[in-house]
Amino acid sequence: MNTSKFFHCALVLILIFPVLAAGGSTPTQAAPGPVSIAQATLPPGSGLDMGAASALTIRYVAPGGADGSNNCANSATPCATVQRAVDASDEGDEIRVAAGVYTDVNIRPRNDVTTTGVVTQVVYISKTVTIRGGYTAAFAGPPDPEVNPTTLDAQGQGRVLYIIGWGKSPTVEGLRLTDGYHPVSGGGIYVYGAGPTISHCRVYSNTAVFSSGGGIYLNRSIAALSHNVISHNSAQLGGGIMLSQSNAAVSNNVISHNNAGDSGGGLYLTNSSGATLSKNTIVHNTAQEGGGLSLIWHDGGTLDSNIIADNQASNGSGLYNYSSDALILHNTFARNTGGPGIYVDT
């Protein structure tokens, strides 16, 4: 690249937000220390919001329940699988999931960029429903995902969640989504053409082996991701999250210890002009370029008030920016190592 062009761009970025190299002065916003999935906590103010409008029907899932012809509408006779409750639901229904580990996987038609082929996952969602974890087996009291952990574990047999449907806007809250696998994209959560709200979840130890979005993959979607812990996921592009042609609001998440074999250890954003990243903690992620995050052909969008620290990459250890003009302000960069903390190429 042209060296003078790089330093000119870097200077503009420095004027907008504080940038600290290893060994620099103390940032005005302190960067956190190491975070693991066992230690990670949801950001302050991240309690489940129970103020939404009443669902048409509430359906229940608990370990030891019965599927079959069960419509899951009686808390005394819950279903055994989340998929059965989704299938039984109408648009607008709410599904309450009791603490436990759910490992069943199912096969459904693909129905995203092509109508051929099948996909395998724990839960296939193609309607506007709410799935909320953190309940006791008796479904007494409000949900508490920390006290009553509700885990969907794909056991490496497929994705955890597959969400599809133009105009569909499901809500997923208070779940632990783990050990999802896909050879191409979206090991943990795959979203195409939908508008989900995903909050207060832990998305960890998922893999997209040869391509994109180890933890979460969004394509042609408008989504809201908030107050999640996204940790220890891996892919070639976007170890934690990949946004492709998706105008997502990504806020108040902890994105840590993810790995990208190529680019975007924590996040990889491309052609997602309306995406906003705000108040996220992006730490201890690794990649060849863009240890914290990569912006590739990403015109528009905003990065505001994020902490990007302790990431590692050979190029752009904190941020790798290629042919992108996102608005970047009020972010804290600290202790990113292995190469330039910020790399800009037009």
Q: What is the pLDDT of residues 262-308, one digit of tens each?
A: 999 999 999 887 899 999 999 999 999 999 999 988 777 899 999 99
pLDDT confidence of residue 297: 80
The whole-number average pLDDT for the span 206-227 is: 96
Closest by Cα among 159, 172, 173, 224 to 195: 224
- Nearest-5° angle of CA 123, CA 48, CA 163? 25
Mean pLDDT score across all residues of the chain: 87
Question: Residue 38: is it exposed, middle or buried by C-beta count within 10 angstroms (0-12/13-18/19+)?
Answer: exposed
3-state secondary structure of 27: coil
Could you give the count of Cα atoms lying within 13 Å of 346 in the half-sphere of its Cβ?
A: 11
3-state secondary structure 217-265: EEECCCCEEECCEEECCEEEECCCEEEECCCCEEECCEEECCEEEEECC
- Angstrom distance (rounded) from CA 190 to CA 132: 18
* φ, ψ at 87 (rounded to 5°): -65, -35
In angstroms, the Cα distances linking 13 to 1, 6, 23, 260 are 18, 11, 20, 25
3-state secondary structure of 335: coil
Q: At residue 30, does pLDDT exceed 70? A: no
Question: Which residue bears the tokens 């920016």?
Answer: 321
Q: At residue 27, does pLDDT exceed 50? A: no
In angstroms, the Cα distances linking 145 to 49, 82, 122, 239 are 12, 16, 19, 25
3-state secondary structure of 277: strand
Q: At residue 117, does pLDDT exceed 80? A: yes
The whole-number average pLDDT for the span 77-82 is: 98
Q: Which two tokens stand for residue 195?
A: 């508008």
